[in-house]
Structure 1
């Protein structure tokens, strides 16, 4: 079962299952408060990941004082805990009042994109609560296909995907996903992609937060091939516990004859947009991941 032994896999699954049952009995706001505690616990029990966060912030924001980076790092773990708690709670509220805790700004861009008959490519990042974005759109009736990298623990991966699909989102594995994504877009539906990760083979390196990072060209390739609108989308958590989803204006894709140059040019543009979100709300990004790992 991969790099971890079976006992570790089952322990992770048990802790995930236990967390689900704990957060199920809490209200949305109390689940978010419980997420603070969860983030604190994870931060203290994963010193290796804590160091990755510290190092990543130092590389990304060398101009910031160390004390400021320390405060950002603490909020990073807060967000991870809160997002995990929200994700578990979202399943329980999926066909109840989940949309009561969500506001969507710029929804007209989605409707305009679908009105063209070409669907839409939505790109985001592991930012704030990235899962609630596709969940909210699916619950509002939008046909969503999300590309997901399988988690290392197949038990937890199955658990997570069952929650994702409970909202109506269709999930496909990142491996060999381009063909399925093309077919989906050709039937005038929406594709949801997190670009701050390796998704498919053939990644290209673009500068991201001051370092070269392997980035999937899938959005640029699909947009060139289909003429589908490319729409940035992300979420922000407000003080009252409401999640605001921001649908940004569709991008004007650059077109040059050389496919490789065209792909690189547009992927750089997409990465700059994600960087803008991170610079504005640095604590919302998933700094625990070694985004710049080679190979």
Structure 2
């Protein structure tokens, strides 16, 4: 039933003017901020203060803006059937030639990004621009919601695989596809590597560097942000290459740190667009001194 409800809501959103959808999205986002549990709000505000060194009022403003944007983001996903026909009106891409050049030898590449702006539209914009992109997704707990979002992802050109589909990722990479990885969420300590992020020990996922080193392909950082047109600008950065010194662990650590530095720089530039509600330091707080996370509580 939920699947058909989502389809109906999408049809309605596609029939409405873009400006009305943007307005309704902001209304929905502001309501979402009101119902976020106080403990989660406090955590998000604490992370903003800790990372950016701002005062309480500014931290609340940034955390709230980060949450409110989920409303317009949802409406944009619902409007994928419309956006597919008018992609250039929604997303402007800078540096696409860097990604195209990296793919020219047919060996594929790793795309490293973060939970910033509308990451669902981010992947779709590159796919609609002709990039053979594999979106690596987390399976939704609700099967109807999972079916809906994956159909809409594939509608705008992405190939979707789940995080557990590592063998498929390597197979697609060998065929010249780009593997899109979101690199800014906490992972379990067994799979992660502790590096520096915003000056604090942070558990980071080494997947991009590990895959790139194994297949000898470049890592392309890319991020999207809201622009003055009321749309989005997607910026593709210069490729990062993983050294192969013989010390696999250190090669992966060093490259993952470089990726984290690029992510941090983007978040500092567009702090309102990052996913501050995610508990980024959950798995490491107890292992380090309180001074490392003094603004967290």
Q: TM-score, normalised by structure 2?
A: 0.86
**Which residue among 10, 32, 39 is the counterpart of 2:29?**
39
Q: Deviations over 1:122-158 (max 9, x none)?
A: 1100011111121012112221111112233333222
Distance 1:18 1:57 in 2: 37
Q: Confirm whether residue 23 of structure 1 aligns to residue 31 of structure 2.
A: no
Distance 1:271 1:161 in 2: 28
Does 228-237 or 190-199 show the bigger shift? 190-199
Q: Given that residues 143 and 189 in structure 1 are in contact (C-alpha distance below 8 angstroms), is that contact kept between their aligned partners in structure 2?
A: yes
For 1:4, the equivalent position in structure 2 comes to none
Q: Given that residues 32 and 68 in structure 2 are in contact (C-alpha distance below 8 angstroms), is that contact kept between their aligned partners in structure 1?
A: no
**Which residue among 77, 82, 97 is the counterpart of 1:87?**
77
How far did 1:99 drift? 2.9
Q: Deviations over 1:144-201 (max 9, x none)?
A: 11111223333322221121111121111101x3322211111112111111125797
For 2:130, the equivalent position in structure 1 comes to 141
Q: Deviations over 1:72-125 (max 9, x none)?
A: 12211222222122121123432x213322111001111111112211211100
Summarize the Cα distance change of 1:249–1:171 in structure 2 as closer, same or farther, 3 Å threshold: same
Distance 1:17 1:188 in 2: 33
For 1:194, the equivalent position in structure 2 comes to 182
How far did 1:234 drift? 0.7
How far did 1:15 drift? 8.0
For 2:288, the equivalent position in structure 1 comes to none
For 2:43, the equivalent position in structure 1 comes to 52
For 1:162, the equivalent position in structure 2 comes to 151
Query: Paired residues, what number?
Result: 282
Q: TM-score, normalised by structure 1?
A: 0.87
Q: Given that residues 145 and 171 in structure 1 are in contact (C-alpha distance below 8 angstroms), is that contact kept between their aligned partners in structure 2?
A: yes
SS, match of residue 79 in structure 2: helix
**Which residue among 118, 141, 162 is the counterpart of 1:129?**
118
Summarize the Cα distance change of 1:222–1:204 in structure 2 as closer, same or farther, 3 Å threshold: same
SS, match of residue 103 in structure 2: helix
**What is the alpha-carbon root mean square deviation over aligned residues?**
2.3
Q: Given that residues 49 and 55 in structure 2 are in contact (C-alpha distance below 8 angstroms), is that contact kept between their aligned partners in structure 1?
A: no
For 1:257, the equivalent position in structure 2 comes to 246
Distance 1:210 1:30 in 2: 41
For 1:278, the equivalent position in structure 2 comes to 267
Q: Which blocks of at least 5 consecutive residues in structure 1 are unaligned?
A: 1-9
Distance 1:71 1:190 in 2: 36
For 2:291, the equivalent position in structure 1 comes to none
For 2:67, the equivalent position in structure 1 comes to 77
Q: Given that residues 110 and 217 in structure 2 are in contact (C-alpha distance below 8 angstroms), is that contact kept between their aligned partners in structure 1?
A: yes
Q: Given that residues 28 and 86 in structure 1 are in contact (C-alpha distance below 8 angstroms), is that contact kept between their aligned partners in structure 2?
A: no
Summarize the Cα distance change of 1:157–1:213 in structure 2 as closer, same or farther, 3 Å threshold: farther
For 2:169, the equivalent position in structure 1 comes to 181
**Which residue among 91, 108, 114 is the counterpart of 2:103?**
114
Distance 2:271 2:246 in 1: 36
Q: Which blocks of at least 5 consecutive residues in structure 2 are unaligned?
A: 285-297
SS, match of residue 115 in structure 1: coil
How far did 1:25 drift? 2.8
How far did 1:221 drift? 0.8
Does 219-228 or 204-213 show the bigger shift? 204-213
